[in-house]
Chain A
Amino acid sequence: RKEVEQDPGPFNVPEGATVAFNCTYSNSASQSFFWYRQDCRKEPKLLMSVYSSGNEDGRFTAQLNRASQYISLLIRDSKLSDSATYLCVVNLFNGGATNKLIFGTGTLLAVQP
């Protein structure tokens, strides 16, 4: 079983749609959680951190369920510019000695005009 699993997609949605991505992680010791965005042939960039209470940044909402080891990202009112691959990322922070980010393989979103 992969440490971080995501639906690879692609998700093809019209502009203005609401789309949700899900992610599960296998290591219950995971400490921190992130969503990164990666445009085609570019580097990953941090989209948002995911906090236990859930958090929102504009059109983006992230949720964490530690009991189910599940993370989600909701994008409302999709824009063409949201088209990218969204990476679910988990941090196995261990006092600094073995800080590791574990990346999912990503979910591809294509927003259609």
Chain B
Amino acid sequence: NAGVTQTPKFRVLKTGQSMTLLCAQDMNHEYMYWYRQDPGMGLRLIHYSVGEGTTAKGEVPDGYNVSRLKKQNFLLGLESAAPSQTSVYFCASSYLKRGSYEQYFGPGTRLTVT
């Protein structure tokens, strides 16, 4: 049981380049999330998904797109990277437990945009 995995772990992009971050979970969780974490800001929700084929915007969605074609995978795309997107990106998944949704996080992707 690998839990939540993310690829790649590190990436350096030039401004304007595109890339896709992959998140995979093997816990059969319905909900999946993408966050970014910046110093002094805490984790901020980019997009999330409540099930296969559905996605929704979070707090900071601009400049990102997502897709959830399979229940176990949640992809985050940057179409035209900007230096402001330099951050650590975390994927998470969750299920319903006792009326609340505890989230399990992947190890993160460190992205630098130059």
Enumerate chain A interface residues (CB-CB to B < 8 A). 4, 8, 31-32, 34, 42-46, 49, 87, 91, 93, 96-101, 103-106
Instruction: State the main secondary structure of chain B at its contact with A.
Output: strand
Instruction: State the main secondary structure of chain A at its contact with B.
Output: loop
B42 close to A103 (CB less than 8 A): yes
Taking CB as reference atom, which chain A residue is nearest B101?
A99
A97 close to B102 (CB less than 8 A): no
Enumerate chain B interface residues (CB-CB to A < 8 A). 31, 33, 40-45, 48, 50, 56, 58, 90, 94, 98-108
Taking CB as reference atom, which chain A residue is nearest B110?
A41
Query: B99's contact among A4, A32, A34, A44, by CB below 8 Å, is which?
Result: A32
A-B pairs with beta carbons under 8 Å apart, 13 shown: A31-B100, A32-B99, A42-B108, A43-B90, A43-B106, A45-B105, A91-B100, A91-B101, A93-B99, A97-B50, A99-B31, A100-B48, A101-B43
